[in-house]
Homo-oligomer: A and B are copies of this chain.
Amino acid sequence: MLLLRRCHSLTRFGPLNTQRHQVTPAVVSCAVRLWRSSSEDGGSYQRAHGPRWRHGLAGLLAGTGAVLAYSLHHHKVQAEQQDSSTVQTIEKTSAFPIISQEEVTTHRSLEHGIWVTFKGGVYDITEFVAMHPGGDKILLAAGGALEPFWALYAVHNQEHVLEMLSEYKVGELSAEDVKKQKAIKTSDPYSTDPERHPAMHINSLKPFNAEPPPELLSDSFITPSAIFFKRNHLPVPQVDAASYQLHIEGLPGGVLTLSLEELKTRFPKHTITATLQCAGNRRSEMNKVKQVKGLNWGIAAISNATWGGARLRDVLLAAGYSPDVAQRAFHVQFEGLDKDVTGTTYGASIPLNKAVNEEGDVLLAYEMNGQDIPPDHGYPVRAVVPGTVGARNVKWLGKIIVSAEESSSHWQQNDYKGFSPGTDWDTVDFKSAPAIQELPIQSAITVPTDGAVVDRSSEEVTVKGYAWSGGGREVVRVDVSLDGGKTWQVAQMRSSEKGQAPGPSPPPGRAWAWKLWEVTAPLPAEAQELEIVCKAVDNSYNMQPDTVPPIWNLRGVLSNAWHRVKVEIREDDNEE
């Protein structure tokens, strides 16, 4: 309860030493979003909306710098401490009560306590949560086993960590459940998934789907790969770069097979900065209108990176593509190396003209932000289809097929399509809608966050966010309102890192990167609350729709209504 009170007071009054124009430091928002719950299927997590999830843990993350420095800190601590690669079991025999996994699973909230298991022991770590140096990620293990998390973070493999844990022991996990855990561990196809950055808000662990805190997103024009949103459909495949092969099929020259080395040396490297966005970005706003199917993404299933690789166009030409092919083939299918238990790979396709157009800029990328593409983002090679929904940017690319047909995959045929708000699961005909390719105009407010408090004495409020449009359409204006959309002002935009001069304007139809924007405006004298709204306009002058209900759809995709956050203005306390 102490924890809860502490959190509430922080959320309400904000920490001391806040910079004058910064209405709510990142930490408060991080804290109120820390808490999630595994859903019944064990795969997806629900974002905090209802009062049940409004608990928060504040002060664990001390802002952007601290979050990004976390991994570094880990490594340093590890080097300073004694090396202890094998961990011993703490208790061999025990007088603790036997507890079932079912019982443990009920303890995954501050209300009901935070229980975890480790090597057959059950621990009530509720009191420890606030002291955990690693912050919120400890909560990911709530109600379950610590092992998969400790395996990700080697810093835990130390005697003193085990000693600390032992203080919280409350029982022994039943022998049957221990056996089950072991079985799960060995058969878990996700056991080889890579370590992830603890700043990420996890929407699903298996497959891994996570987004960065919005405040971090608008700090960098180029999103660091570690906090670039991650949307996996299947386990991350283990690909050996030395033996990697990419097959290109469906062209007159027969099958072309390329090694990674050949891809890098036979074709010129082309570099683009492109924003990728999940079709489900901002789905949580649709869920508030009426339940949809899908991961409950906030506003950060979008990120911007610099990608390097061979042009798909060049590779297709090398494989025998000529304009004649376009008479019989209309699609380029991609197959990933990620597989489900039946061996079915992830797949998607894009229109052939996007693939072969000189101005399409489609890459077979092997670099992300100047380094090898990380495992979560498609190592060693992924498709980058700029301006096009994330789902077509197939990762861990194994095969490219030029075809008369779209990909027959579930994700192309029966998912990632938009429908009328009147269409439900009883009436939906997936054939009636086209697969999403280019995405519509989008923008959102990253700072302040919903529910933030701003002091009257600060006199001004600074609003920040991102804006992007699909199809290479450049964002030309962002309008911001402090009064729910009655009056509007135009935001300042930037298309480079802060302080750097922007590059030359992209040619028409090739504006692949987002813009970050900012407005600083006086606090309206009479207002007690601000309803901050943003809407962007692209160079086809497409605008975002005003409200969510008329664009609601059963899959919760394409959520691009005006983004709204409410901020309380706290009058200064002059009585004291």
In the complex, what residue of chain B is closest to A488 when comparing beta carbons?
B422
> A473 contacts which chain B residues (CB < 8 A)?
438, 471
CB distance from A202 to the nearest CB of B (A): 27
A418/B541 in contact, CB under 8 A = yes
* Interface of A, helix, strand, loop or mixed by DSSP: loop
Given known contacts A545-B544, A545-B546, is B490 in contact with A434 (CB within 8 Å)? no
CB distance from A134 to the nearest CB of B (A): 40
Cα–Cα, bound, A507→B331 (Å): 11
A408: Cβ under 8 A from any B Cβ: no
**Stretch from A78-86, A169-177, A282-290, A532-540 at the B interface:** A532-540
A470: Cβ under 8 A from any B Cβ: yes
A353: Cβ under 8 A from any B Cβ: yes
Q: Which of B434, B487, B507 contacts A476 (CB 8 A)?
A: B434
A489/B434 in contact, CB under 8 A = no
B488/A420 in contact, CB under 8 A = yes
B507/A420 in contact, CB under 8 A = no
CB distance from A361 to the nearest CB of B (A): 13
B539/A542 in contact, CB under 8 A = no
> A542 contacts which chain B residues (CB < 8 A)?
440-441, 540, 542
A437: Cβ under 8 A from any B Cβ: yes
Cα–Cα, bound, A244→B61 (Å): 74
Given known contacts A507-B353, A508-B437, is B540 in contact with A490 (CB within 8 Å)? no
CB distance from A364 to the nearest CB of B (A): 21
Q: Which of B423, B508, B540 contacts A353 (CB 8 A)?
A: B508
B550/A547 in contact, CB under 8 A = no
> A544 contacts which chain B residues (CB < 8 A)?
545
Given known contacts A420-B490, A433-B476, A488-B421, is B543 in contact with A438 (CB within 8 Å)? no
CB distance from A294 to the nearest CB of B (A): 16
A194: Cβ under 8 A from any B Cβ: no
A374: Cβ under 8 A from any B Cβ: no
A438/B539 in contact, CB under 8 A = yes
A354: Cβ under 8 A from any B Cβ: yes
In the complex, what residue of chain B is closest to A323 when comparing beta carbons?
B358
A551: Cβ under 8 A from any B Cβ: yes
A540/B439 in contact, CB under 8 A = yes
Cα–Cα, bound, A439→B537 (Å): 12
> A471 contacts which chain B residues (CB < 8 A)?
471, 473, 540
In the complex, what residue of chain B is closest to A562 when comparing beta carbons?
B550
CB distance from A481 to the nearest CB of B (A): 8
> A531 contacts which chain B residues (CB < 8 A)?
none
Given known contacts A353-B509, A437-B539, A438-B539, is B545 in contact with A479 (CB within 8 Å)? no
A541/B439 in contact, CB under 8 A = yes
Interface string of A427-470 (1 = CB under 8 A from B): 00000011011111100000000000000000000000000001
> A441 contacts which chain B residues (CB < 8 A)?
542
Cα–Cα, bound, A558→B540 (Å): 10
A377: Cβ under 8 A from any B Cβ: no
> A541 contacts which chain B residues (CB < 8 A)?
418, 436, 438-440, 558
B550/A488 in contact, CB under 8 A = yes
A489/B437 in contact, CB under 8 A = no
In the complex, what residue of chain B is closest to A485 when comparing beta carbons?
B550
Cα–Cα, bound, A151→B470 (Å): 52
A421/B550 in contact, CB under 8 A = no
> A439 contacts which chain B residues (CB < 8 A)?
540-541
A546/B546 in contact, CB under 8 A = yes
A63: Cβ under 8 A from any B Cβ: no
In the complex, what residue of chain B is closest to A357 when comparing beta carbons?
B359
Cα–Cα, bound, A489→B545 (Å): 18
Inter-chain pairs besides A471-B471, A545-B546, 14 sampled, C-beta below 8 Å: A330-B507, A351-B507, A353-B508, A420-B477, A421-B479, A433-B476, A438-B539, A439-B541, A440-B543, A535-B550, A541-B558, A543-B550, A544-B545, A546-B547
Q: Would you list the 4 A-B pairs with minimal beta carbon distance, nearest first?
A: A546-B546, A438-B540, A440-B542, A351-B508
Q: What would be 29 A-B contacts, judged by CB atoms less than 8 Å apart?
A: A353-B507, A353-B508, A418-B477, A418-B537, A420-B477, A420-B479, A420-B489, A421-B487, A422-B487, A422-B490, A423-B490, A434-B476, A437-B508, A437-B539, A438-B539, A438-B540, A438-B541, A439-B541, A440-B542, A440-B543, A470-B540, A471-B473, A471-B540, A535-B550, A541-B558, A542-B542, A543-B545, A544-B545, A546-B546
Q: Taking beta carbons and an 8 Å cutoff, which residues of A are in contact with B?
A: 330, 351, 353-354, 357, 359, 418, 420-423, 433-434, 436-441, 470-471, 473, 476-477, 479, 485, 487-490, 507-509, 535, 537, 539-547, 550-551, 558, 560
